[in-house]
Amino acid sequence: MISLTIDGVRVQAEEGETVLQAAKRAGIRIPTLCHLEGLSPRGACRLCLVEVRNWGGRLVPSCATPVQEGMEIVANSPRLRELRRTILEMIFAERNHICAFCVSNGHCELQDLAMELGMDHVRFPYRWPLLPLDLSHEKYGIDHNRCVLCGRCVRACAEVEGAMTWGFSGRGIFTLVEADLGDPWGKSKTCTGCGKCVQACPTGALFEKGKATSEQMKRPEIILEVTERRPRA
């Protein structure tokens, strides 16, 4: 067992556990976006940043940082709140997140985070990129305007379904989640149509066709349920 403190609370954790897991067990809330139980940690969104006080105040992503003996973690502070809010604002400014027109309005992780972190406005100029919408799949659609590039769909597809249909193309702000060699989703030879990516998506970027906003509730927890039920090799 490893002991550490999180926001002054003494916490016991197993070796190999992450700071986020330890905090969760201790009932300490750390906001996350790209993290999803059942998938490998990615540390892509940086919303779960915490401060390690005895590492000179270094900031580390709690979802991807294993616990170490004697760590003094600050999980909530004005500094972290401001950092997380800034990160969120940059995510909002990067693409076209217009809640009123979105199928995930009211049950969107990005929207929930904005409310939780008190993001009442965005201090960066919006980029308003013109991004495509792919409705070629029989059951689902992908709207790149609402994508935050968290990679949950990519990981769900690769790690749980094993189809490896989704991948990132391009780089930086031009990155897009695309199927196979950039084909329309409906033309994909590898997609099994399982829909795990849709369930894993925190925003309205991946959605089910023919369902209204209120019917579009997602169940990201199925990723963990599915992986737990699966016997380990």
Partner 1 sequence: MNRIAEQVREIVQPYAGKPAELIQALHRIQSTLGYLPREAQEVAAEALGVPLSQVRGVVTFYHLFRTRPAGKHTIRVCMGTACHVRGAERILAALKEELGIGPGETTADRKISLELVRCLGCCGLAPVMMVDEDVFGRLDPKKARRIVQEIRDG
Binding mask 176-205 for partner 1 (x = CB under 8 A): --xxxxx------xx---------------
CB of 187 to partner 1, least distance (A): 12
Candidates 44-52, 58-66, 113-121, 162-170; binding stretch for partner 1 (CB under 8 A): 162-170
Q: Which stretch binds partner 1 (CB under 8 A): 3-11, 30-38, 161-169, 207-215?
A: 161-169
Nearer to partner 1, 183 or 208 (CB): 183
Among 10, 171, 229, 232, binds partner 1 (CB under 8 A): 171
Nearer to partner 1, 57 or 170 (CB): 170
Is there binding between residue 169 and partner 1 (CB under 8 A)? yes
**What are the structure tokens assigned to 222, written together?**
């199925």
Query: Which of these, 186, 190, 143, lies nearest to 166 by C-alpha position?
Result: 190
The answer to whether residue 158 forms part of the interface with partner 1 (CB under 8 A) is: yes
Q: Is 164 in the site for partner 1 (CB under 8 A)?
A: yes
Residue 101 binds to partner 1 (criterion: CB under 8 A) = no
112: Cβ contacts below 8 Å, ≥ 6 apart: none
Check binding of 7 to partner 1 (CB under 8 A): no
Min dist CB 110 to partner 1, Å, is 24
Q: Name the residues that contact partner 1, by CB under 8 A.
A: 154, 158, 164-171, 178-182, 189-190
